[in-house]
Amino acid sequence: MNSTSLRSDPANRQIALLGVLSLVMMMTRFHHEGSVFSLPDASLAIFFLAGIFLEGPLSYWVLLILAASVDYIAITALSVNSYCISPAYLFLAPTYAALWFGGRFIKQTPHRSLMHYAALLALTVVFSSSIAFLISNGSFYWFSGKVSGIGIVDYALELAREFGPYVGATLFYVLAGLGVNALVRSLAIIRLSRVDSL
């Protein structure tokens, strides 16, 4: 039996990957902070991984619409606090774009070695997450109308405590996503090699 007949077509793989990323977003986005019963929001990492694994900008727009839809359902049907909904909410588009473009950069940059790839990946996740953090929190400060009584220095000091977990959770989810992808690809190669030997 020819193994190429068992390989899924690239379009199907893209749809499957988008489906998995969408599912993880839906599972983690309803409660952004995470708790004993819920995981922290993986949306930032999902946009980064979409930049790496999915072809073309359509995935960015699909995931952006999904994120807004999940937020809408969480607020209207599940009574999740709507504090973050303000004119600044529109700035989630460039926030997530920073991560998506970070993923594209990783995808398009040649890697000389595993060590080079790991270092470049870590730096890109930290840089992209930092840009996203500044866009998201800066726009909330300037455009939400909800923090007008706080000076910018006090606001920045308050945000400094959140920066580490923000970047750390993104890096964790990106590494987990890459690990799962490597495992699935390895298992597929093993399976195909067994079929080829029949």
The whole domain housing 88 covers 3-196
Contact present, 198 and 2 (Cβ < 8 Å): no
Residue 9 CA to residue 153 CA, distance in Å, equals 53
Longest dimension (CA), the chain: 72
Return the pLDDT at 159: 87
Number of CB atoms found within 10 A of residue 18's CB: 18
What are 113-117's contacts with CB under 8 Å, separation 24+? none
198 residues of the chain, pLDDT tens digit each: 444 444 567 888 899 999 999 999 999 987 655 455 567 899 999 999 999 999 999 999 999 999 999 999 988 888 777 777 888 899 999 999 999 999 999 999 998 899 999 999 999 999 999 999 999 999 988 888 877 778 888 888 888 999 999 999 999 999 999 999 999 888 888 887 777 666
Judging by beta carbons within 10 Å of its beta carbon (0-12, 13-18, 19+), is residue 34 exposed, middle or buried?
Answer: middle
Domain total for the chain? 1
What's the pTM value of the predicted model, to 2 decimals? 0.87
Judging by beta carbons within 10 Å of its beta carbon (0-12, 13-18, 19+), is residue 13 exposed, middle or buried?
Answer: middle
Return the pLDDT at 101: 98
